[in-house]
């Protein structure tokens, strides 16, 4: 998969977020969807889980993934291994959140504590509990067991000569700059449209910096 440019993200109608556990994929997807004006799908809620912490059967997951991927536009916050191929086949760009273990683990622990104390519904209406946090299926244990594998996969995608363009970001600040740039572009586009509609050609904002110059900041 070639390295994505900022222009690839700006013009994409179907964006797949992928990242290590604790990288904040769901929050990132919501922000990106708002910046791009695209519907957002959270796979833990919509695909992976049933109430009572029952994992949805994989054939049902694939069917839901096909339905989700077939839409004209979307931002999806992850893709499980059983149907990752379905999303990659339709995605126009992948944003890979390749953050450090220290950062993502600290985020994950804080998130777990918050959910435990507030009883925040997650994963299709389920709530986390202390026993689950220390169980064999703990999300913290999953972080340790999956971190290296997910990191290697993202870097392999980025280095591949063909496939979906990949924008790999190594710190949340880089993602913040990406979203800010998209939001500024939206403001500029709206201003240009309004000026043209009202004949105020002299009020058009100056052209944006070229794509390469903007992308290097990420």
Q: How is residue 112 written in tokens?
A: 């777990």
Residue 192's pLDDT band, with cuts at 50, 70 and 90, is: very low
Residue 209's pLDDT band, with cuts at 50, 70 and 90, is: very low
DSSP E strand boundaries for the chain: 14-19, 40-41, 49-50, 54-55, 74-76, 93-97, 166-169
Kindly state the average pLDDT of the residues 187-200: 54
Residue 94's pLDDT band, with cuts at 50, 70 and 90, is: very high
**DSSP per-residue codes, 35-87:** HHT--EE-HIIIIIEETTTEEPPHHHHHHHHHHHHTSSSEEES---TTTHHHH
Q: What is the pLDDT of residue 80?
A: 96
Contact (Cβ atoms closer than 8 angstroms) between residue 177 and residue 9: no
Q: What is the pLDDT of residue 213?
A: 38
- Residue 120 burial (C-beta neighbours within 10 Å; 0-12, 13-18, 19+): exposed
Which residue segments constitute the domains of the chain, with CATH numbers given? 6-215 (3.40.50.300)
Q: What is the pLDDT of residue 197?
A: 55
Q: What is the pLDDT of residues 125-150, one digit of tens each?
A: 888 888 777 777 788 888 989 999 99
Q: What is the pLDDT of residues 19-74, one digit of tens each?
A: 999 999 999 999 999 999 999 999 999 999 999 989 999 999 999 999 999 999 99
Between helix 172-197 and helix 25-36 the angle, nearest 10°, is: 10
Task: Tell me which residue of 218, 194, 202, 155 sits closest to 1, measured CA to CA.
Answer: 155
Residue 194's pLDDT band, with cuts at 50, 70 and 90, is: low
Across 13-17, 116-120, 194-198, least confident range: 194-198
SS3 205: coil
Distance of CA 57 to CAs 46, 64, 73, Å?
13, 11, 26
> What mean pLDDT value characterizes the chain?
87
Residue 159's pLDDT band, with cuts at 50, 70 and 90, is: very high
Q: How is residue 124 written in tokens?
A: 């299709």
pLDDT at 200 over 80: no
Q: What dihedral do alpha carbons 7, 8, 10, 16 form, nearest 10°?
A: -150
pTM for the model: 0.83
Residue 199's pLDDT band, with cuts at 50, 70 and 90, is: low
Contacts of range 138-144, beta carbons closer than 8 Å, 24 or more positions apart: 139/21, 139/108, 139/112, 140/105, 140/108, 140/109, 140/112, 142/21, 143/20, 143/21, 143/22, 143/104, 143/105, 143/108
More confident residue, 197 or 215: 197
């Amino acid at each position: 998969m070639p390295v994505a440019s900022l222009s690839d993200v700006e013009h994409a109608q179907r964006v797949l977020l992928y990242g290590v556990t604790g990288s904040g994929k769901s929050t990132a997807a919501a922000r990106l969807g708002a910046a791009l004006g695209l519907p957002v799908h959270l796979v833990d809620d919509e695909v992976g889980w049933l109430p009572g912490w029952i994992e949805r059967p994989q054939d049902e997951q694939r069917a839901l993934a096909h339905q989700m991927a077939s839409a004209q536009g979307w931002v999806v916050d992850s893709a499980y291994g059983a149907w990752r191929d379905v999303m990659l086949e339709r995605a126009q760009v992948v944003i890979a959140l390749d953050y450090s273990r220290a950062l993502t683990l600290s985020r994950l622990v804080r998130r777990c504590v918050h959910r435990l104390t507030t009883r925040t519904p997650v994963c299709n209406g389920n709530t986390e509990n202390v026993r689950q946090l220390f169980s064999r299926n703990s999300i913290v244990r999953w972080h340790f067991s999956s971190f290296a594998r997910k990191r290697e996969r993202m870097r392999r995608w980025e280095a591949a000569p063909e496939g979906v363009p990949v924008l790999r970001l190594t710190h949340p600040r880089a993602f913040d700059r990406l979203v800010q740039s998209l939001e500024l572009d939206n403001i500029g586009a709206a201003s240009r449209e309004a000026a043209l509609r009202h004949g105020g050609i002299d009020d058009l904002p100056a052209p944006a910096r070229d794509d390469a110059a903007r992308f290097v900041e990420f």
